[in-house]
Amino acid sequence: PTATTTPSGTVNMPTLFANITGLTPDTQYYVWFRNKCNATDKSAWSAIPLGFRTGIRGQIGSGTDTSDQLPLYSLYGYNYTQQIYLASEIVASLGVNGQQYITKLKFHFTSSAATANYKDWQIFMGNTTKTSFTSVAVDQWVPVTAMQEVLNGVVTFPDPTGNWMEITLAEPFVWDGTS
């Protein structure tokens, strides 16, 4: 930008975050900064822009399969489950190959049970060369030490009438694009 470039958005201090809407998926964007003390007193634009690429939305599966046990089985006071999504499924869903950030998980939720006590979730994600679990034995699972914790907290459930349960990850997961 030049000194006369009109900003397309503003963030007032001390806010350090801005929600930018209307961006195109899988597109590179750049953001420049400058200080504005008053209507006429402005600093120069930052010399180096902040760059980021917008994500791509994708869905693995049809969203029509139902189970009262995935992603969890609530009969007990705890639950542990693992799911494998193949690289071919992710590439088919996103339409791109290569490293991607995963920031949300969604499950089509159908249950007649109350969900008020579903709290204290820990979600881990990892890249693996496994393509399936050959048995239900614990030694078939990916070790939790080989995964990244992406959420530790409460998950909000929709009304149990067949809605989507959306889980926003506290930490984005970097899928390596191949495993």
DSSP readout, 9-29?
----TT-------SPPTT-EE
Q: Determine the Cα–Cα distance for residues 75 and 98; give it in Å rounded to an integer.
A: 39
Digits of tens for pLDDT over the chain (179 positions)?
A: 566 777 677 766 666 677 778 888 778 888 887 777 777 777 887 778 788 777 777 767 665 666 666 666 666 667 788 888 888 888 888 777 777 888 888 877 666 665 665 678 899 999 999 999 888 888 889 999 999 999 998 887 766 666 777 888 898 888 888 88
Give the side-chain half-sphere CA count within 13 A for 129. Answer: 0
The model's pTM = 0.67
